Structure 1
Amino acid sequence: MKLWAAWVAASAASTIVWGVAVAQPPRTASRDNVEVSLPAGKAFPSGPGSDLANAHCLICHSAGMVTRQPPLSFDDWKAEVSKMRAVYGAPFPAESIDDIARYLVTINGNP
């Protein structure tokens, strides 16, 4: 019985791999507590809408990755931005889609 109690206690804070208890880090981290610092100079070029792109697009993409995309029309950028929100769950309001797409056309688009 002592062996069983020891195994239960060990498995609460560890994972058993091939009969050996491997310690696991405490599970105290939360997605709500994550902070991100962006390196200086890694933001979108300034202009109307750059504040939206910096606030919402840099969560997942680098400015360089976005600016290296092929030139797209407003409708194409709007479709891409809408997809980021609807399919990938980008956390920005639907009202921002047109403004972000307009900005992306001005820095890398086909007006």
Structure 2
Amino acid sequence: MKPALIALALRVGLVTLATSVAGFATAAGPAQRMSQQQATREVHVSLPPGTTSFPPGPGSDLADQHCVVCHSAGMVLRQPPLSFDEWKAEAAKMRTVYGAPFPAENIDAIARYLTSINGKQ
């Protein structure tokens, strides 16, 4: 599962994680390995819902929808002020390098919004 999808699942508040030890060799050798079915277990994790969102304004809905999939609004707001071009490059990097699941056509709108709340002139 991609990190952005894992983060989205965590943000929703309930995640099922499956772990497996079937591929590990035991001291007794391959004949003693546990089968995949025997070694898999589910762990349910409930996380409290996030309470922080971006300040209201044109584009805040996009930032709330796309940016908090991977990190908190507070983390973004603590960044040094960036120009529109710098925010645009950051948004593009989040999408192309880290796999943030938002369409390329939203990059400019997100950069405009982030510039409006945390930009340098």
Q: TM-score, normalised by structure 1?
A: 0.70
| 2:78 is equivalent to residue 68 of structure 1 | yes
Q: What's the CA shift for 1:47?
A: 1.0
| 2:39 is equivalent to residue 24 of structure 1 | yes
Of 39, 42, 45 in structure 1, the residue corresponding to residue 55 of structure 2 is: 45
Q: What's the CA shift for 1:38?
A: 6.7
Query: In structure 1, what is the equivalent of residue 11 of structure 2?
Result: none
Query: In structure 2, what is the equivalent of residue 56 of structure 1?
Result: 66
Percent identity reads 58
Give the greater-gyration-radius structure (CA).
Answer: 1
Are the structure 2 counterparts of residues 93 and 71 from structure 1 closer, same or farther at C-alpha, using a change threshold of 3 Å? same
Q: What's the CA shift for 1:89?
A: 1.2
Query: In structure 2, what is the equivalent of residue 7 of structure 1?
Result: none
Query: In structure 1, what is the equivalent of residue 10 of structure 2?
Result: none
Are the structure 2 counterparts of residues 99 and 41 from structure 1 closer, same or farther at C-alpha, using a change threshold of 3 Å? same
Structural RMSD (CA) = 2.5
Runs of 4+ in 1 over 3 A off after TM superposition: 13-16, 20-23
Cα separation, 2, equivalents of 1:70 and 1:51: 22
Instruction: Tell me the number of residue pairs that the alignment of Structure 1 and Structure 2 aligns.
Output: 91
Cα separation, 2, equivalents of 1:52 and 1:65: 16
Unaligned runs of 5+ in 2: 1-20
